[in-house]
A = this chain, B = another copy of it.
Amino acid sequence: MRRPTMDDVAQRAGVSRALVSLVMRESPKVSPERRAAVLAAAADLGYSPHAMARQLAQRTSTVLAVLVSDLHNPYFADIVEAVDTAAREAGLDMILSTGGRRPAGERRAVETMLGFRPAGLVLLSPVVPQAVLEAASVSTPVVAVERTVALPGVDTVTDDGRAGSRLAVDHLAGLGHRDVVHLDGGQGAQSSTRRRGFVDAMRAHGLEPHVEPSEYTEEGGAAAVARLLAAGTPFTALVAANDINAIGALSALADAGLRVPEDVSVVGYDNTSLAAMRHVGLTTVDQPRAEMGRLAVAAVVERIAGRRTAPTRHRLQPTLVVRTTTGRR
């Protein structure tokens, strides 16, 4: 059961531990014969380096810690994938943890991850208090994705939520809609930005913005629509808080016997795999998630290399993906 160590390999290959170390790190200054002997011995023993011992000795980590706020939201799957790929290319090993959408859970997750002294910490739509980010940023490069943070030690990567909302409104206005309602994301990350963008864009079109409180959940979307209908609020189009919220809205509309897009048009946000399902076909705002993941890793790498100490603030432009839930008024 005991795993072989470098000393075991060294002994078997008839060389010193230091030489084995060099071979394992693919140093060029090892003669081909010795290298072969060491590799053979390692293979015989089933040896693989102890990553933790390595990091302790090196005093430098190759672990990129990533916190996902909600594993249930498919939005994150794409970003995580992009982060993973970029991390691999940068020679970093990604480890993931989740806080289950609860601040306390996220805090715990951040603390255990920091216990591993990672090379960097990437937080995806975190809901954890700023103080935690600040404390972490003292000793580790920290990047927040889809969360606005003004701390000097924390880099940020977000999409331009105002522009995203504007895209949705422009699209709907172009289709002749005048009574457009925004379902607001409440406490959720970036929701205030999206709301502001909606209001401004509506005004720019000379239209009266109506914002209905909601949240980033299916139930929230359904409830908001039910309220609108009960109140008799006139509307022919909805700009939902995000895709899941939009799905809830679609359900509520269907329950009320309203057809989409004939009676009501609906626009989501995030372009998750949910929206792309042919069965749903949601028109939605797409964030360049792959790019966002890449930039997040790049920001960490720059800080590690000491190439930068000032914070970066990436704000990416979203695009509109038109599917089947929006149509002419």
Contacts and interface: CB of A to CB of B under 8 A. Distances in A.
A250 interface: yes
Copies in the complex: 2
B218 A277 contact: yes
A48 B100 CA distance: 23
Nearest to A80: B71
Nearest to A112: B93
A72 B273 contact: yes
B279 A247 contact: yes
Interface stretch (A51-59, A169-177, A199-207, A314-322): A51-59
A180 B137 CA distance: 58
A94 to B, nearest CB: 7
A227 interface: no
A49 interface: yes
A230 interface: no
Contact of A278 (B53, B135, B248): B248
A247 B277 contact: yes
A53 B51 contact: no
A81 B52 contact: no
A46 interface: yes
A77 B72 contact: yes
Interface string A58-82: 0000000000000110101110110
A53, A74, A278: most-surrounded residue (chain B CB, <10 A): A278
A1 B139 contact: yes
A148 interface: no
Interface stretch (A113-121, A159-167, A190-198, A208-216): A113-121
Interface in A113-143: 114-117, 135, 138-139
A39 interface: no
A157 B81 CA distance: 27
Nearest to A279: B251
A137 to B, nearest CB: 11
A155 to B, nearest CB: 16
A219 to B, nearest CB: 9
B222 A115 contact: no
A97 B100 contact: no
A95 interface: yes
A96 B93 contact: no
A102 B116 CA distance: 28
Given A50-B117, A56-B56, A251-B278, 18 more contacts: A1-B138, A3-B117, A48-B114, A52-B52, A52-B55, A52-B117, A71-B71, A71-B77, A71-B81, A72-B78, A74-B74, A84-B100, A96-B96, A96-B98, A247-B277, A251-B279, A274-B274, A279-B280
